[in-house]
Structure 1
């Protein structure tokens, strides 16, 4: 291959890569959380004409209590990915039921500091999710099992009878179940 053609291909490749990989994250629906990126080559995209009904079963605990749980942030990513594809916020009906080890992400900042000696950074994400229209629920059975009471929790959460019955209530109504 002629060396000018070779260098031209290298230059073109670097321009294409920098335009894809040099992007800043975008936050079309959930502001400041769940940053996502444009994928110019994507051929499989959400259908912007559909209404989405999504139930997230969130039970996985954070890996590091000092950081935002990647699982909580993933709910924001889910919404932002749909938004980037043109799905309007009003067409996203997202419910999250939190149980198991993930329940601690819902503690008030005071309760979180007492338990983990650090601020609860997840609360900012939950606030942004609530503002974006997400319905956030906690399993009442998990509260009892962990000897927690409602006043220990972030005030934006609703107490559900159980995660199990929440799932069996919404899946027959056409909600797609995602497990985080």
Structure 2
């Protein structure tokens, strides 16, 4: 509900649902992304990339970063997981643009796996929401502390002290597709 009361005609959650459907444009294409980039003037980050070809097209259309995300499976619950799509996307765009991952990050180990597969960062939602639901703002802070401690501990178990030295060599061969 952040839009409720701010967008024209959106006064409650029911009208928000209708407004959201009206905003979806099935004709949106990569030329539109280029148009937005030219007029935006800032960094353009595209979330929801799950395919190597889309990643290349996004990079060629001016995106500054990509977020590999299946939106928590809400839009298409049969879609692959973000971590399964990540290696192919990283390989497709190389170092041309930043690649981040969203989805399935519940622990420091998950952060490390995503980093090992080429993500330059991760987004975390549910872990923080669990903390928020349990203890409010302090719960969110505690969730972040736990994830950071798990990340540090897992890195130590892998013989790493610097996140920038993490690569796929820390993963069990054959665990993730390359």
Which structure would you say has the larger Rg?
Answer: 1
Larger % of strand: which? 1
TM over 0.5: no
| TM-score where L is the length of structure 2 | 0.33
- Structure of greater relative contact order (alpha carbons < 8 Å, 6+ residues apart): 1
